[in-house]
Structure 1
Amino acid sequence: MPTRYDKEFKQNIINLYKQGESAAQLAREYGIGYSTVHKWIQGQAKTQSGKSPDEIKAMEKRLASLSEENEILKKPGLPCAEVANIFDYIHQESHHHQVTKMCRILGVSRAQYYRYRSPKPSKRQAEDVDLKQRILRIFAEFKQRYGVMKIHHELNLELQPLQRRCSPRRISRLMKELDIHSVTVNKWKAASASKTKVEQRPNLLKQDFSTTGLNQKWTADMTYIQTKRNGWCYLSTIMDLHSRRIIGYSFSKKMDTDLGLKTLESAVKNRTITGDPIIHTDLGSQYTSDDYNQRLTELHIRHSYSRKGCPYDNAPMESFHASLKKECVYPVPVFEDYETAAAVLFEYVHAFYNRKRIHSSLGYQTPLQFEIATLTSQMAA
């Protein structure tokens, strides 16, 4: 069925456009039709007052910059060309455009370009220069979140059409020479279950996270996000254990039952629920409330709970939160305010984690790629 988007999702896309992202880039990054993104932006513009002279001037400046970018990128196949071919193109066009601007637009290093224009190094050195540029681009594309093995996977996909390969050992050496390394995720150690007596609630999952298809087992949780102006804010998510995709998402200044319900509704909006799926949560009051469980009953979803003080019962969510904190939250000392945090988290979950971040457990596929492969296999069966 057609994908439906809520107001919060649309507004986040519009905000990203206002911050400088192009409509085409947003459509590609978030898997939305270009015409849909354009319609949202046009609809927003119709409801707002006219632009000020400064805004018009800024828009004209951006339009001129975009026109120049289009002129630079007009050569067919250029963005996918060998780095050396890109450098040759920059040299040919250097009397029309600034070298610095062309390097930025084409995603190459200005220093590497000038080194390329000097006497050629040995074949091995030339290969290293090319590989370093590719590694830096991959490293930047995935926002410094990929280490040796994931860069190895992405790089060799890129080199495959060229009948070339690069070993993890060589990538490790080149990354050391470039002085870059991924944000590491500390392994968390789960404590044993608490001996404190609490109300008994069913643990249907019992740490069995295996699945044979989508929408069989979900897991949900909330985590704290600190901001300067608004204090603690709260991210609530739901993951499908089959694909590790985040299917429910909501961010709020309050941690309450409404936050859990809003996340649940965002998950069921675009999922076809059959049978009696399980959703696993902790024993937080947001999940044990009558309203939350009443809604689960209406949706024919069975509720499974972790034991008190035993995070291993919800290990996939603990792992997701660890990755999110290390890759997205901790690199920033503290978010300025709720709106800033919301924009960064939205990008991480929807554009990066679901669509770009490969998982070794999924055969080095992204959650979205794995879901598409699963659905394709089911249709062919």
Structure 2
Amino acid sequence: MAGKTRRNFTDEFKAETVALLESSDRPLSQLSQELGIEQSILRAWRRKLRPSGAQSPRPDTATSHGHAVTVPAITADQAEIRRLRRELERVQMERDILKKANRHLLGTCEMRFRFIDEHRQTFPVRVLCEVLEVSPAGYYAWRRRSESGRTTANRELLGEIRRVHEASRGRYGSPRVHAALRAEGVRAGRHRVARLMHQHGMAARRSRRGQPRTTNSRHALPIAPNLLERRFTAPAPNRVWLADLTYIRTGEGWLYLAVVLDLFSRRVVGWAMANHMRGELTLAALHMAIARQRPAPGLIAHSDRGSQYAASDYRAALAGIGARASMSRKGDPLDNAPMESFFKTLKAELVYNAEYATHSEARRDVFAFMEVWYNRQRLHSAIGYITPEQMELTAA
């Protein structure tokens, strides 16, 4: 790249950013860093686009005004309610411990003691010992014993593994955790990381099967040749774009998502969401990509044979920037494998772990996944375990 280009943001991008700001409990400074957008710009967008009547939360006012407050004596019924609440809290605590302990219940006393030691800041030791059926005296005796150098090193490494895994919101498996640790200068073998993760119940989120079809190739519209031919590399950004669409279940019905992906960096460069999958949806995603990236003539724009991508408006938009259309063979998703891989990642790491009551809830989550997590933070195996944003910097 010749130099730093001015970033362009569509109205849809700005609206989703403001929705994320309004709904998130993270400070504006953190979101500014995650999105790579100046705080002043985010404030300006929020002032302009914040829904009418929305107000910043105000702290509760004190009711005592500095005077002593007399606490009335509790009745027998109130005492019973408090006792039942304590019992309920205890049951919930035990349930949470059982969910976390899982395989440790069937392990050795050493494994149970280690689990207790790792979670003693979250749960009382006495309760942990009762649930895992070990004695508090045995646990404290275990803690007093000196541990070997290897055990100490594994415990310290486990803390680093847990930190990276939790930072990814449970999305990383051992290969990406290992790559992230290596990038931070933590030296550990890949098999050692995998073994510790397996022993402590940490794994990547898994995808589900059975995604409905979104492609309608039974039409009389023009079909472009397959210029890609499964060559899933590109020499630089904005040389090859991939496009496809999918949908997400919500309580208000399906939310459809169209995405444009840059093959060189695997970065999401354009997207659009709507309650339909007509041609204007895919066209909106393409327009966002064009506005943000401003590609030079000669770009290859690859998609499936769906009617949305064969439509005259979509073909005219490609011709307007000097791009060449390319389409997969009929019924062959492997011809657009990197795009299929992105949707699989989106579903496994986000969608299948959430239940959305409304379209707006889903839009907010999907926006944050693509623009904050996937483009700027997630390590991508196909580009050497770096982020798409870092990959683009290699071409600068």
TM range (shorter): 0.7 to 0.9
Amino acid at match of 2:357: E
Question: What is aligned with 2:266?
Answer: 244
2:113 corresponding residue in structure 1? none
Q: 2:45 aligns with which of 40, 53, 56?
A: 40
1:283 is matched with which residue: 301, 305, 311?
A: 305
Query: Where do 1:91-170 residues align within 5 Å?
Result: 111=120, 119=144, 121-158=147-184, 160=185, 165-170=187-192
Contact 1:237-1:249 within 8 A present in 2 as well: yes
Q: Distance in 2 between matches of 1:278 and 1:59?
A: 60
What is the CA distance between 1:214 and its match in structure 2? 1.4
Bigger-Rg structure (1/2): 2
Of 7, 12, 15 in structure 2, the residue corresponding to residue 11 of structure 1 is 15
Aligned residue pairs: how many? 312
Q: Does 1:172 align with 2:194?
A: yes
Match of 1:365 among 386, 389, 392: 386
TM-score (norm 2): 0.71
Q: In structure 2, how many angstroms separate the alpha carbons of the residues matched to 1:208 and 1:317? A: 13
**CA distance 1:173–1:344, change in 2 (3 Å):** same
Residue 26 of structure 1 contacts residue 37 of structure 1 at CA under 8 Å; is this kept in 2? no
CA distance in 1: counterparts of 2:256 and 2:287, whole angstroms: 17
**Partner SS, residue 181 of structure 1:** coil
Partner SS state of residue 348, structure 1 = helix
Structure 2: 5+ residue runs without aligned partners?
63-117, 126-138, 211-216
Q: Structure 1 length as normaliser, TM-score?
A: 0.74
Q: Is the 8 A contact 2:250 2:356 kept in 1?
A: yes
Task: Give the secondary-structure state (helix, strand or coil) at the position aligned to 1:56.
Answer: coil
- Per the alignment, residue 379 of structure 1 pairs with none
- Residues 138 and 151 in structure 1, CA contact (< 8 A), matched pair in contact too: yes
Q: Which has the higher contact order (CA 8 A, sep 6+)?
A: 2
1:57 counterpart = 2:59: yes
Q: Does 1:27 align with 2:50?
A: no
State how far apart, in whole Å, the 2-side matches of 1:329 and 1:59 are.
39
Q: 1:336 aligns with which of 353, 357, 364?
A: 357
CA distance in 1, matches of 2:55, 2:61: 10
**Deviations 1:129-175 (CA, angstroms, capped at 9, x unpaired):** 322222111111111111111101111222x2xxx511122212221
Deviation at 1:367, TM superposition (A): 0.7
Q: What residue is the counterpart of 1:222 in the other structure? A: 245
Q: Which amino acid aligns with 1:206?
A: E
Q: Give the letter aligned to residue 8 of structure 2.
A: R
- Check if 1:349 corresponds to 2:370: yes
Q: 1:315, 1:169 → 2: CA distance?
A: 28
Task: Call closer, same or farther: CA 1:186–1:212 in 2, change over 3 Å.
Answer: farther
Query: Equivalent residue of 1:231, what SS?
Result: coil
Residue 65 of structure 1 is matched in structure 2 by none
Q: What is the distance in 2 between the residues matched to 1:252 and 1:340?
A: 13
Identity of paired residues, percent?
32
Structure 2 vs 1, CA of residues 112 and 249 (structure 1 numbering), >3 Å: closer, same or farther? same
Unaligned 5+ segments in structure 1 are 61-108, 189-194, 376-381
- Which residue identity is paired with 1:57? P
What is the root-mean-square deviation of aligned Cα atoms in Å?
Answer: 3.0
